[in-house]
Amino acid sequence: MKISFVILLLSACLAAPLPAANKKDKAQKPVKMSTLYKAASTAIKNASGQDGARNNLMNALQRTDLKDKDRAEIYYTTAKLYESTNSVENRKAYLKQKYDTALFFNSLLNMYEQLRLCDSVDATPNAQEKIRLKYAKKTRELRQKHIRNILNGGKFFLYKGNYASAYDFLDDYYTYASNRQDTLLPKLAYQAALCGYLTSHPAHTLKYIDKAIESASRGDKPILQEYKVRTYAMLKNDSAWVRELRAGVRKYPEHDYFFVNLADYYASHKLTSEGCALADSLIRVVSANKAIYWYTKCKMKLLDNDYEACIQFADSTLLRDPTFADAYYNKGISYLNMAVIRQESACNDIKDPRFAQDRQTIRQLFASAMPCMRKVRELQPDKVDRWAPPLYRIYLFLNKGKEFDEIDRLLKEKASEDAKRQAEPAKK
C-alpha cells in the first residue's frame, strides 16, 4: 500500500501545472556593461578568452539604450582586445614557438579599424553641439605603438601576392603615419595604387594613383596613367576616361596607348577633324615616321568619304610600314567606293563617247582596288570575311573567272561553317 501511495503522489506532481513565474518566462536582463568590461580586462590580463570577450562587446552594440560615449568605449576596449591577441602571437614568435603570422598582422589591422570607429563616435557633437574628445590621444598613441608592424603587414601580404589584404595595411600606414615627410610614403602610394588595380578595385586605385604618378620615375609614369585610364573605363565613366586619355597624350606622347584609344574614340564619334588634329600634333611632337599617325589620318578621311585623301594617307602609311594591313584595306575600299559612285553617274548610252570613257575609268578603279585587297588577304589570311567580299566584287567586274570561282567557293564554305557553328548550341 505504501508503494501505491508514492506512485499516486508522483503522478499528481507530474500532472500539476508549472509555477506562474516559469509560465511567464520573463526576458532575461542584459548583462551590465561593467561586467562586460571587467571580462575584457580579465581576458587581456590572462592573455586568453579575447574572442569571447570581444564578441560579447560587439553584440552589446545592438542595445538601443547605448549612448555615444558607451559606443566609443566599446570600440576602444575591442581594439585593446585585438592588441592582446597580437601580443599573444608576438610572444610565441619571441619564444621561437609556432605562431600564426596572418593572425599576428590581421589582429593589428582589426585594432586599427576599431580605433577608427572609436574616433568617429568620439567626434560626434553632444546635445549642446560641442565636441569633447575623450579617446583621441589614446587612439593615436595605440596606433603609433604598432605602426611599424602595420607596414610590415603590408610587406608580408605583398610578398604572398594577397594584394587585397596588402592594400588595407598600406592604406592604414599611409593614413596614420605621424610623419608626413616619411620617405616611404611615395613608394607606398605606388604599391597601394597597384594593389587597387590588380584587385579591380577602382576606389582604391584612384585614391592613390595621382600620388603614385607624381613620385614615379619617368618610365613608370605613363604605365600608371594607363592604369588610371583603364580604371575609369572599368567604371564606365566616359568623360573621365576621355579626359585622362587626353592628359596621357599631352604628358606622354610617346606612349601609343593614349593616342590609339583617343583616336578610336574620335573615329567612333565621327570627330574626324579632332582625329586628324591629334595625329598632326604627334607627327610634330614625336615623329613624322610613325605609320600609326598617318593611318589615323587615312581612317578619318575614309569616315569623311574623302576617298582621294584616304588613298593619299594610306600611301603615306605604307611608305613607313609596308605591312600595315589596315592601310591596304582602306585604300582598296576607297577605290571600290569611288568605282560605285562613278557607276551610279556613268553614261548608259552605249553610243555616247562618254560610255566608253566612264567604263574605262570604273574598270581602272576596280583594277586599282584589286592589289590592295590581295595584299590584305596575304597579310591576314584568316580574316576571310574582310577581304573575300571585296575581291568577289572586283573579280566579278573584271571578269576574272578563275579567281572569281575560288572566292565564290571560299565564301560558300565560310557560310556553311558559320551555319554549322550557329546550330551547335541548339543541339546541346
In sequence order, what DSSP letters do the residues of 219-287 get, joined into one string? TTHHHHHHHHHHHHHHTT-HHHHHHHHHHHHHH-TT-HHHHHHHHHHHHHTT-HHHHHHHHHHHHHHT-
Contact 41, 54 (CB under 8 A): no
Q: Nine-digit cell at 246?
A: 587626353
Q: Nine-digit cell at 196?
A: 587597387
Q: Which helix (H) or strand (E) holds 373?
A: helix 353-379
Supply the pLDDT for residue 23: 46
Instruction: Tell me the range of 122-131, 220-229, 337-346 where mean pLDDT is highest.
Output: 220-229
- Spatial distance between the Cα atoms of 97 and 117, rounded to a whole number of angstroms: 33
Of 114, 57, 119, the residue nearest 86 (C-alpha): 114
Taking every pair of C-alpha atoms in the chain, what is the biggest distance, in angstroms?
143
Q: Nine-digit cell at 3?
A: 508503494
The tens digit of pLDDT for each residue in 55-84 reads 999 999 998 888 888 999 999 999 999 999
- Spatial distance between the Cα atoms of 91 and 36, rounded to a whole number of angstroms: 26
The tens digit of pLDDT for each residue in 258-289 reads 999 999 999 999 999 999 999 999 999 999 99
8-state DSSP, 352:
S
Is residue 178 predicted with pLDDT exceeding 80?
A: yes
220: confidence class by pLDDT, cuts 50, 70, 90: very high
Is residue 231 predicted with pLDDT exceeding 80?
A: yes
Is residue 126 predicted with pLDDT exceeding 90?
A: no
Is residue 205 predicted with pLDDT exceeding 80?
A: yes
- Spatial distance between the Cα atoms of 349 and 233, rounded to a whole number of angstroms: 57
Taking the CA of residue 62 as centre, how many other CA atoms within 13 Å lie in the half-sphere pointing to its CB?
6
- Spatial distance between the Cα atoms of 303 and 281, rounded to a whole number of angstroms: 20
Cβ atoms within 10 Å, residue 329: 22
Q: Nine-digit cell at 85?
A: 591577441
Look at the alpha carbons of 54, 56, 59, 60 in this order and tell me if their dihedral is positive or negative. negative
The larger pLDDT score, comparing residue 242 to residue 355, is at 242
Is residue 17 predicted with pLDDT exceeding 50?
A: no
- 3-state secondary structure at position 100: coil
The larger pLDDT score, comparing residue 402 to residue 21, is at 402
Supply the pLDDT for residue 301: 98
User: Which residues lie closer than 8 Å to 369 by C-beta, 6 or more apart?
Assistant: 331, 332, 333, 335, 336, 339, 390, 394
**Among the ranges given (168-172, 176-180, 283-287, 333-337), the one the predictor scored with the smallest mean pLDDT:** 176-180
Of 62, 19, 54, 15, the residue nearest 37 (C-alpha): 54
The tens digit of pLDDT for each residue in 140-165 reads 999 999 999 999 999 999 999 999 99
- 3-state SS string over 201-222? CHHHHHHHHHHHHHHCCCCCHH
- Spatial distance between the Cα atoms of 218 and 215, rounded to a whole number of angstroms: 9
| Alpha carbon distance, N-terminus to C-terminus of the chain | 83
Is residue 238 predicted with pLDDT exceeding 50?
A: yes
The tens digit of pLDDT for each residue in 293-320 reads 999 999 999 999 999 999 999 999 999 9
Q: What is the pTM of this model?
A: 0.83
